[in-house]
Copies of this chain bind each other. A is one copy, B any other.
Amino acid sequence: MKGLVLIMDGMGDRPLKEFNNQTPLEAANTPNMDQMAREGINGIMDSIAPGIIPGSDTAHISILGYNPYEVYTGRGPFEASGVGVDVIPGDIAFRCNFSTSDENGIITDRRAGRIRDGTKDIVEVLNTMVLEDYPDIKIIFKESTGHRAVLVLRGEGLSDKVSDADPKVEGNKPKEVEALDASPEAKKTADILNKLVVKSYEMVKDHPINLERMENNEPPANIIIPRGAGAVPVVEAINDKYEINSACIAETGLIMGIARFAGMDIIEMEDVTGGVDTNLDNIRDTILDQVKNSEHDFFLINIDGADEAGHDGNAREKLEFIEKVDRVVMSELKKLDDVYIFLTADHSTPISVMNHSGDPVPVIIKGPEVRVDDVEKFSEVDAAKGGLCRIRGSDVMNIMMDLMNYSHKFGA
């Protein structure tokens, strides 16, 4: 038996006046997902708990059966893992921006003109960084998409209890990183970061990529601004915990990073952007290929575009992306008769909020032996009348493993 949890990131929403008080999902024309709703059991889900606003990271952690309140200390480690840094317990990881600094240390562009190319070359130089005062601390940079990068500090006596260097507003110097508790570890880590920010500018301000950018009147990527410190957690591998052979099919480093922590295999895809312009054909084909031809029996799948449209407050784009996923992806997935499909979102990203909210998300479980209810349509409002009633993200793995007959009895 195979199973997949397909998460349409940020798909949940609130009623919108422009859609006649329907949500984008309600208003969208989704014949394939509606068919799945009719053939499945439906419900609503709080990824963490009712009213709690999940991040994509904490929601996925919860859905994979880990307690985000225990595991999650910050986004850095998941980002780092997602872009392929082999983080280990004890590491402190950060999200970074390549930014533009002038010679006075003022940040003139927090995203270095949204640089697309060349950051890999700049990172090669940065990865030779050794701080005089901390020769034993290993400093690992890795570029991510666009102006984004990650930073991992490895060594003795480090802490994730440090503030961000991100000045948030252009025209300011990077913020002095501060210890957030009284420990010597936090003090040391803050000092490392402050020196690292300065040194990054010294090391790459005259990098050929940056000289070229300046010649072209583009802001150089000449300084690294870290934020989102997190300590790398240790978790039991999901394959051991549930006796599965699992894989993750996702577009973004964040989700791949979480899957990597859980020990899932990561299936790479070409041409996926995490936006509404992503290549859904590739995603669909990858899913079908994996389900039909691989040894994996359990999949975490994340399609990100609806969340992006929600963050942008673009209702029409969100609706159209949902319709496109229905047309391109679900039209085929719905035919997988001998597979359990858990279709849901990780959280709502209401158009009106332009950020995540704690509103529950709709769920369909379709598969050979579910108790089919009388819900006829996939939507936030319809799902609430379904046979699952209201569940939590932490129930997902248990429900799937049970339906797949992978679980063991607790008791006799």
Task: List chain A positions with a Cβ less than 8 A from chain B.
Answer: 14-15, 21, 23, 43-44, 48-59, 61, 68, 72, 75, 228, 254, 350, 352-353, 355-359, 369-373, 380-381, 384-392, 395, 397-402, 405, 407-412
Contacts and interface: CB of A to CB of B under 8 A. Distances in A.
A405 to B, nearest CB: 6
A89 B44 CA distance: 42
A56 B381 contact: no
A23 B54 CA distance: 36
12 contacts: A15-B370, A23-B371, A43-B389, A44-B389, A51-B400, A51-B402, A53-B407, A68-B411, A72-B411, A352-B369, A359-B371, A385-B385
Contacts of A51: 395, 397-402, 407
Among A43, A254, A358, A395, find the residue whose CB has the most chain B CB atoms closer than 10 A.
A358
Contact of A411 (B58, B358, B372): B58
Given A371-B380, A412-B254, A50 B15 contact: no
Contacts of A15: 369-372
Among A43, A398, A408, find the residue whose CB has the most chain B CB atoms closer than 10 A.
A398
A411 B56 contact: yes
Contact of A350 (B352, B369, B407): B369
B357 A402 contact: yes
Total identical chains:
2
A315 B135 CA distance: 71
Contacts of A48: 410
A387 B395 contact: no
B14 A369 contact: yes
Nearest to A95: B412
A395 to B, nearest CB: 4
Contact of A14 (B371, B398, B400): B371
Contacts of A381: 371-373, 387
Given A55-B410, A373-B381, 11 more contacts: A23-B371, A44-B387, A48-B410, A51-B399, A55-B411, A58-B410, A68-B411, A75-B411, A75-B412, A359-B402, A385-B385
Given A51-B397, A358-B398, A389 B390 contact: yes
A334 to B, nearest CB: 18
A398 B353 CA distance: 16
Nearest to A383: B387
Contact of A395 (B50, B58, B398, B399): B50
